[in-house]
Structure formats: structure tokens, C-alpha cells
């Protein structure tokens, strides 16, 4: 029997999607530590290592919680967002509101009675420990995630939109089957199977209410279910489109689109399978932002590329018509 989560009608009705900057931050630190490394993010990993070589991060409180040498890590590090998410401050606030008894219970589950000194100190004063971890994670986010957040956020949003349409057209069975090959829904249960979970034969204790489904870009290629959480139970899964996120300027467009559009425009259209700004594209293709803008205007006029504002920036993305052309 694989890992299962009991999910009745009322819990299924309360199941929702959320986007979490804190989840991305924790995930990227685990990637840097070599935990379940995802090959699609190697370009980001090289950039992050160069950034940290230039100016290291102080993660003295956070690192022992994440890099444990054990199978798990404390679930309070990624609380379920209260709403659709997308606020680092809300995420960190929820982290710091974790009840002290939940913190200690989580540390017990991961580390057992023989806690390392840093973990023992954390358990002795959870309030101070959570505050210091939150500050370290805020700095890590600003350094490692924020420079890429508009593009990451666009990929996460596109993933949520895709799966929301899957739910509309095919119900819960279609939704969970589309999230990841290891997941499925059957007879009021979410089932996590596959080779990685072959020995995980148990029913997952579910938190209050429905599940929170959270796509992740800078994380593991596997599904991660957090158990025994004080918030709703989360299912974190690799977001669709992550494989193209860092690929701008690295793949050749097909000859047919090159003949129709010209090599530069075909390359831009190909790169925009993942959202990007004019600055991203100019850097990837080795041209000026103004030249990129001129080509993008032609592609937009032809209905092949769309644009949307994200914070102070503007992201471009290939439209369904552009995808069909490619």
C-alpha cells in the first residue's frame, strides 16, 4: 500500500492552490545542499553558487533544520498559505506563529531524542528560533529568489491556471493525475505511489480542512507531502514549464518557424515558452533591449506573443497560437 491521504467530499471541496515565495526559498536552499537536485534548475544553481561565492549567506539557524542527514525536515518551515499566497511576509508570519508544542513535536519526529546542539537550543526557545530563522529566510529570498521572482511567479501562475482547467474539465481524478505521475485520486483517497515511495506504506495524518496544492519551480522533481502540520496539509509538486524557464537563447528554433519569422524572431518565440522580460531576452541573445522590443512588437501584432505586468516589470509569453506555430 503506498502513501495515502483520506479526502472526503467536504475536504475535496476545500482543496485549493497556493503560491508560496517561502516554499521556493526553502526549496532552493535544499537544491544548493544537493537534496533531491532537479537537473532543470542547473542554470539557476550555477548562478546561485556564484552569488554566494561573492557574498555568503548566514544560515546558521536554518541550515541544520534543512540539511539533516535524515529522511525529513521540520514541516513548520513551509506553512500552508492562508489564501492564494504570493506574499513572503505572510508566509514568514505564519512560520513565526507556529505553536511551541508543534515546533518541539516536529523536531522530535525529525531528530529523535539525540538532538544536535543547535536543534536542542532551538527546542529550548522556539520563539527566538523561529524569529531568527524567519530573518535568515527573508535574506535568502532577497538574494536567491527575488531577482528571478517575476519569471518564477509567472510560471507558477500558469501552472495553477492549467490545473484549474484540468479540474474543470475532468474533475479530481484528472486534476491529481496531471499534477505528477506519482499521484492519483481514487475512492476518496489521494495516493502517492511510484518507485521512490515503494516503502512508504502509511496513511498520512491530514491537517485541518482540505489540501493546499503548491507548485514549486526551484525544488525537487518529486512530490512532497508535509505531515502532522499545524496548518493545512500541503502537497508540493514540480511546476509545469520549469524546464524552459532558464532556456532562453539556448535552444534552436525549428527550421519552418525560422523560414517564416526569421531566425531572431523565431528564437524569441521559442524562448518565450517560459515568461521573460526584454532584459532577460536581451541578455540571453546578446542584443540590445530596444532591438528585442522591436521584434516583440511584431510578434505581438501577429498574435504570437502576449504581455502582462508583474510588479514593476513586464513579462512576455508565447500565446497558444505561437505554441502551435512552434
DSSP per position, 10-48: HHHHT-EE-B-HHHHHHHHHHHHTTTT--GGGHHHHHHH
User: Is the distance from CB of 264 to CB of 295 less than 8 angstroms?
Assistant: yes
The model's pLDDT over 15-24, given as tens digits with 9 standing for 90+, comes to 999 999 999 9
pLDDT-based confidence at 171, cuts 50/70/90? confident
As a whole number of angstroms, the distance between CA 235 and CA 212 comes to 6
User: Which position has the higher pLDDT, 177 or 65?
Assistant: 65
- State the pLDDT at residue 145: 95
- State the pLDDT at residue 247: 61
- State the pLDDT at residue 204: 82
Q: What is the mean pLDDT of the chain?
A: 87
- State the pLDDT at residue 311: 62
- pTM summary value: 0.79
Residue 310 has pLDDT above 70, yes or no: no
Per-residue pLDDT, averaged over 123-151, amounts to: 94
- State the pLDDT at residue 250: 47
As a whole number of angstroms, the distance between CA 20 and CA 94 comes to 12
Amino acid at each position: 500500500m503506498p502513501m495515502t491521504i483520506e479526502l472526503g467530499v467536504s475536504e475535496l471541496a476545500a482543496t485549493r492552490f497556493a503560491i508560496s515565495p517561502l516554499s521556493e526559498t526553502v526549496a532552493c536552499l535544499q537544491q544548493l545542499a544537493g537534496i533531491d537536485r532537479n537537473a532543470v534548475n542547473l542554470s539557476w544553481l550555477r548562478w546561485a553558487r556564484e552569488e554566494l561565492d561573492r557574498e555568503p549567506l548566514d544560515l546558521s539557524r536554518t541550515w541544520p533544520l534543512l540539511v539533516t542527514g535524515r529522511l525529513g525536515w521540520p514541516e513548520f518551515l513551509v506553512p500552508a498559505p492562508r489564501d492564494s499566497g504570493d506574499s513572503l511576509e505572510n508566509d514568514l508570519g505564519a512560520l513565526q506563529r507556529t505553536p511551541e508544542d508543534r515546533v518541539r513535536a516536529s523536531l522530535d519526529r525529525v531528530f529523535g531524542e539525540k538532538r544536535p546542539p543547535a536543534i536542542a537550543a532551538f527546542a529550548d526557545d522556539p520563539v527566538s528560533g523561529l524569529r531568527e530563522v524567519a530573518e535568515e529566510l527573508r535574506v535568502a529570498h532577497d538574494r536567491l529568489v527575488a531577482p528571478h521572482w517575476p519569471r518564477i511567479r509567472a510560471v507558477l501562475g500558469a501552472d495553477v491556471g492549467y490545473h484549474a482547467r484540468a479540474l474543470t474539465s475532468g474533475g479530481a481524478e484528472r486534476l491529481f493525475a496531471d499534477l505528477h505521475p506519482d499521484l492519483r485520486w481514487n475512492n476518496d483517497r489521494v495516493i502517492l505511489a511510484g518507485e521512490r515511495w515503494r516503502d512508504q506504506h502509511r496513511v498520512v495524518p491530514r491537517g485541518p480542512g482540505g489540501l493546499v496544492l503548491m507548485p514549486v519551480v526551484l525544488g525537487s522533481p518529486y512530490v512532497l507531502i508535509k505531515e502532522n502540520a499545524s496548518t493545512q496539509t500541503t502537497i508540493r509538486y514540480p511546476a509545469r514549464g520549469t524546464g524552459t524557464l532558464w532556456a532562453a537563447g539556448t535552444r534552436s528554433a525549428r527550421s519552418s518557424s525560422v523560414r517564416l519569422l526569421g531566425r531572431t524572431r523565431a528564437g524569441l518565440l521559442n524562448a518565450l515558452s517560459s515568461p521573460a522580460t526584454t532584459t532577460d531576452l536581451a541578455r540571453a541573445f546578446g542584443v540590445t533591449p530596444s532591438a528585442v522590443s522591436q521584434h516583440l512588437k511584431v510578434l505581438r501584432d501577429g498574435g504570437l506573443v502576449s504581455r502582462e505586468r508583474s510588479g514593476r516589470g513586464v513579462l512576455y509569453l508565447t500565446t497558444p497560437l505561437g505554441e502551435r506555430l512552434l
